[in-house]
């Protein structure tokens, strides 16, 4: 199964990753980083197809998807 990695130091809470996920595997969490931004979390990583659209679209390079192929 694919694995989600979020760097809370870089995330600014824009949640573009949540909106761009074609499989809707991500959602906003209740967690905030030190700057007060809401972080994304995995809703159901079994839905993730490893397209890495969230990773590509993140303007702050705060998200990474580890696939089984990696």
| pTM, full prediction | 0.90
φ/ψ of 67, rounded to 5, equals -95, 165
Query: What pLDDT, on a 0 to 100 scale, did the predictor assign at position 70?
Result: 74
Domain count, the chain: 1
Residue percentage of the chain with pLDDT more than 70:
100
For residue 30, the domain's CATH number is 3.30.70.20
Domain that holds residue 19: 3-66
- Model pLDDT for residues 17-50, shown as the tens digit of each residue: 999 999 999 999 999 999 999 999 999 999 999 9
Beta bridge partners of 28: 40
């Amino acid at each position: 199964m694919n694995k989600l990695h979020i760097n809370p130091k870089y995330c600014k809470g824009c949640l573009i990753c949540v909106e761009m996920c074609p499989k809707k595997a991500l959602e906003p969490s209740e967690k905030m980083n030190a700057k007060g931004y809401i972080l994304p979390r995995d809703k159901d990583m079994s839905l993730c197809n490893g397209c890495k659209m969230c990773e590509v679209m993140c303007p702050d390079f705060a998200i990474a998807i580890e696939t089984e192929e990696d």
